[in-house]
Chains A and B, each alone.
Chain A
């Protein structure tokens, strides 16, 4: 078998949009940009992706990338001859993705709630899977790390931004990536890889940047409440700007959002299960002006508002863009409310979405929420004259029901 090729992002200038104003060439501190009488081009081997040329470009022509095999970038001689940018080349479809055993095992557990791995919605974008492996991980740089939950809150959830520089690490909303903590465990073996859902949309945490966001909860206790220090989560939550992280993936071929205009999305989550929901919501938000139609409904549970990741930005979203339903289980002086309670309260809405062939349902969070949500759906169906087991079978059949719990 041939050695796997390494995909990288090659910085290119769109000759159809470029006005040849020379601003980029003037700005580039590395002199990576040059021109002939026809085109402005970027020398792959010189460009360090510092982005100094991006904002001065008056046209946006400068802000283009193509995934290429590192050993075969587009040479400037070819770029000089272009009238338009080449199509994105697809990775070799023949090559089976390299999925580590641990990742397969975690995926099996996570998707048990929907009866194992399922097909994605028909209009989902094609996901790339397993481009980077344990033997050959991608190296990302930490460009942001801040705590999302209030300082006094019982859980510390962090928002981490990783930048892939010139490495192509294409992800879709709902996919995850694996982080390899450095060092060895007590028995002298490398640490297990940990999986995290990507919390940013496909075109970057910041539009046009080659970065992703993660939502990571610092693990300080096991499920029984005994003190334990999670190796990976503590490693990640302690990362500082500029730190390098070994990343594998991307993974996930099923928990993907629909892309067709008019498609609606119902999202049910707790805690860091909100990561993929944030990615999906942000994808839709960035496309708001396209007026593609379809509704977003979110059912989001936490103990108290202070522990709800992204609470502030969430509250700022327009009401006609997303129907937000929050449930808090530990607000003093108020009865405990869980996501299943809110689902029941919104029975009419939930039933309408279940009936809508264009509505896709996503559930992400702790395993323990699954049974409750299931029962709530069953109750909603009963009050609306539907049979949940039949509805669920249909949903799965149509790839409209996606569960990832852990």
Chain B
């Protein structure tokens, strides 16, 4: 179904046919716009940005590019087309027709799942709101704005579900989504990674590469949900999420590229010399990788979780690519390996696959991150530089789960408190690193110019040149 842009809220869910819902969302819309004005990208009101806007959810219509004045972006409600005859594909209800309404007994659980997912969307916009002021190029400025407006749209997607299926509770939750603030001491965002700062573009690219990838896996697991509207919403969100991952992967890749160029030009791998040359030395990038990887890893929750098990058994949240897996989709008997610390050793134990679903999703994510890191490693490899990036051990720097009370180094050895205190600055960015990276953050807004610390992209957006005027200032 095509998207109706003549309505106040563009949508492909035939909103006009449900006046109560339409009015409720139209009531929420000004509050959203207020929130965007207050917490959206700073100083973006007068910019014309080359954005993609969905004009239909069909493959040929959902990536329509044009210059759009930022506040005039049309956030709307888009669901992937319904799959006829879709079933609940896992858990105790496997084989039942997928639910078009919320089953009463799962109402509060589903609401919590949706609110938790929905809360991350405005949170990341808030975390990134100052970055436009230090963009390394118009191309990058355009990319961050694209990410921001689509996170805004993902909020709309979740709010639609809350309004359409959860009555008054849902409406109250939708309001609360606009009231919490990332990093706010009194009313913070729900998940801790979304209260961290994103103070510079290295952090932003790491965030989109690593943390938005958590988004990908969470959305993919929810896209398997027996609750069909949630599944359809998440399927369309996944298509948009891919762009965010691209911004992160290519952003870090371009930073590595630039550093490698300078290393070869000046025949040095000395971080101090490279910093004097105004690029980010590879060990610093590794430290940022360690930080974002470990903080995001916490988002998957405890390795063994009865909540995760009941989400699955009840058909609410599946595994990554559930329908492509060949097993009974009930997990009554299967086992899954999880780690724990025993004395000074990390050991593997086998627990019920059903209770280990958090860990399984985390492992799927780790594999995906690792594949991206190996693609980064092709850059130094090609440049003849021996440095390789490595993901730290899963237990490194964790605040949630089996490793919380322990200090694990990136190689996976259990350290004493003293050893950790002594050594952790080698592995995590310290204030000096942050200060250095921040010192590079100037604003580059001339078309075709890129900051010294980052290489231009291999190609532009939508066939445009890399020096296209992606953002117009007026």
Q: Which residues from chain A sit less than 8 Å from chain B, CB to CB?
A: 16-17, 19-23, 26-27, 37-38, 51-53, 55-56, 58-60, 63, 83, 207-208, 287, 289-290
- With beta carbons under 8 angstroms apart, the residue of B60, B62, B245, B458 that contacts A21 is B245
**A37 CA to B371 CA, complexed, in Å:** 8
- Which residues of chain B come closer than 8 Å to A38, judged between CB atoms? 371
**A287 CA to B448 CA, complexed, in Å:** 13
> What are 30 pairs between A and B in contact, CB < 8 Å?
A16-B378, A17-B459, A19-B242, A19-B250, A19-B372, A20-B368, A20-B371, A21-B241, A21-B245, A22-B242, A23-B239, A26-B238, A27-B59, A51-B59, A51-B60, A52-B60, A55-B62, A56-B59, A56-B62, A56-B242, A58-B243, A59-B246, A60-B461, A60-B462, A63-B463, A207-B463, A289-B448, A289-B467, A289-B468, A290-B465
Smallest Cβ distance from B94 to chain A, in angstroms?
23
- Which residues of chain B come closer than 8 Å to A59, judged between CB atoms? 246, 250
Known: A17-B459, A19-B250, A83-B378. A56 touches B467 (CB 8 A): no
A-B contact sample (12 more), CB < 8 A, given A51-B59, A60-B463: A17-B458, A21-B216, A22-B242, A26-B239, A51-B60, A52-B59, A55-B62, A56-B242, A58-B242, A58-B246, A289-B447, A290-B467
Q: Check: B249 CB closer than 8 A to any chain A CB.
A: yes
Smallest Cβ distance from A171 to chain B, in angstroms?
19
Smallest Cβ distance from A108 to chain B, in angstroms?
39
- Which residues of chain B come closer than 8 Å to A21, judged between CB atoms? 216, 241-242, 245-246
Closest 3 CB pairs of A and B: A21-B242, A52-B59, A58-B243
- Within B418-474, which residues are at the interface with A (CB < 8 Å)? 447-448, 458-459, 461-463, 465, 467-468
Smallest Cβ distance from B123 to chain A, in angstroms?
22
Contact mask B251-285 → A, CB, 8 Å, 1/0?
00000000000000000000000000000000000
- Which residues of chain A come closer than 8 Å to B462, judged between CB atoms? 60
Smallest Cβ distance from B135 to chain A, in angstroms?
18
Closest residue of chain B to A37, judged by CB?
Answer: B371
- Which residues of chain B come closer than 8 Å to A16, judged between CB atoms? 378, 458
- Which residues of chain B come closer than 8 Å to A58, judged between CB atoms? 242-243, 245-246
Instruction: Determine which residue in B62, B63, B243, B246 has the highest number of CB atoms from chain A within 10 A of its CB, and name it.
Output: B246
Smallest Cβ distance from A325 to chain B, in angstroms?
28
Q: Which residues from chain B sit less than 8 Å from chain A, CB to CB?
A: 59-60, 62-63, 216, 238-239, 241-243, 245-246, 249-250, 368, 371-372, 375, 378, 447-448, 458-459, 461-463, 465, 467-468
- A interface, over-half SS: loop
- B interface, over-half SS: helix
Closest residue of chain A to B460, judged by CB?
Answer: A60
Contact at A60–B459, with CB atoms within 8 Å?
yes
**A20 CA to B376 CA, complexed, in Å:** 13
Smallest Cβ distance from B333 to chain A, in angstroms?
28
- Which residues of chain A come closer than 8 Å to B239, judged between CB atoms? 23, 26-27, 56
- Which residues of chain B come closer than 8 Å to A55, judged between CB atoms? 59-60, 62-63
**A60 CA to B465 CA, complexed, in Å:** 12
- Which residues of chain A come closer than 8 Å to B242, judged between CB atoms? 19, 21-23, 56, 58
**A22 CA to B216 CA, complexed, in Å:** 11
Smallest Cβ distance from B29 to chain A, in angstroms?
27
**A354 CA to B468 CA, complexed, in Å:** 33
**A21 CA to B242 CA, complexed, in Å:** 6
Closest residue of chain A to B379, judged by CB?
Answer: A16
Smallest Cβ distance from A201 to chain B, in angstroms?
13
Contact at A289–B465, with CB atoms within 8 Å?
yes
- Which residues of chain B come closer than 8 Å to A37, judged between CB atoms? 371
- Which residues of chain B come closer than 8 Å to A289, judged between CB atoms? 447-448, 465, 467-468
**A22 CA to B238 CA, complexed, in Å:** 10
**A83 CA to B62 CA, complexed, in Å:** 30
- Which residues of chain B come closer than 8 Å to A83, judged between CB atoms? 378
- Which residues of chain B come closer than 8 Å to A26, judged between CB atoms? 238-239
Instruction: Determine which residue in A56, A207, A290 has the highest number of CB atoms from chain B within 10 A of its CB, and name it.
Output: A56
Contact at B465–A19, with CB atoms within 8 Å?
no
Closest residue of chain B to A23, judged by CB?
Answer: B242
**A20 CA to B250 CA, complexed, in Å:** 12
- Which residues of chain A come closer than 8 Å to B372, judged between CB atoms? 19-20
- Which residues of chain A come closer than 8 Å to B371, judged between CB atoms? 20, 37-38
**A38 CA to B374 CA, complexed, in Å:** 10
Closest residue of chain A to B80, judged by CB?
Answer: A26
**A359 CA to B108 CA, complexed, in Å:** 74
Contact at B245–A19, with CB atoms within 8 Å?
yes
**A290 CA to B458 CA, complexed, in Å:** 14
Contact at A208–B246, with CB atoms within 8 Å?
no
Closest residue of chain A to B65, judged by CB?
Answer: A55
- Which residues of chain A come closer than 8 Å to B216, judged between CB atoms? 21
Contact at A53–B245, with CB atoms within 8 Å?
no
Closest residue of chain B to A38, judged by CB?
Answer: B371
Smallest Cβ distance from B455 to chain A, in angstroms?
13
Smallest Cβ distance from A321 to chain B, in angstroms?
15
**A21 CA to B243 CA, complexed, in Å:** 9
Instruction: Determine which residue in A58, A63, A83 has the highest number of CB atoms from chain B within 10 A of its CB, and name it.
Output: A58
- Which residues of chain B come closer than 8 Å to A207, judged between CB atoms? 463
- Which residues of chain A come closer than 8 Å to B63, judged between CB atoms? 55-56
**A289 CA to B449 CA, complexed, in Å:** 12
**A207 CA to B463 CA, complexed, in Å:** 7
**A52 CA to B461 CA, complexed, in Å:** 18
**A19 CA to B241 CA, complexed, in Å:** 12
Contact at A208–B245, with CB atoms within 8 Å?
no
- Which residues of chain B come closer than 8 Å to A51, judged between CB atoms? 59-60
**A27 CA to B80 CA, complexed, in Å:** 11
Smallest Cβ distance from B367 to chain A, in angstroms?
8
**A99 CA to B232 CA, complexed, in Å:** 55
**A207 CA to B375 CA, complexed, in Å:** 28
**A51 CA to B459 CA, complexed, in Å:** 19
Smallest Cβ distance from B218 to chain A, in angstroms?
15
Smallest Cβ distance from B447 to chain A, in angstroms?
7
Closest residue of chain A to B209, judged by CB?
Answer: A19
Smallest Cβ distance from A352 to chain B, in angstroms?
29
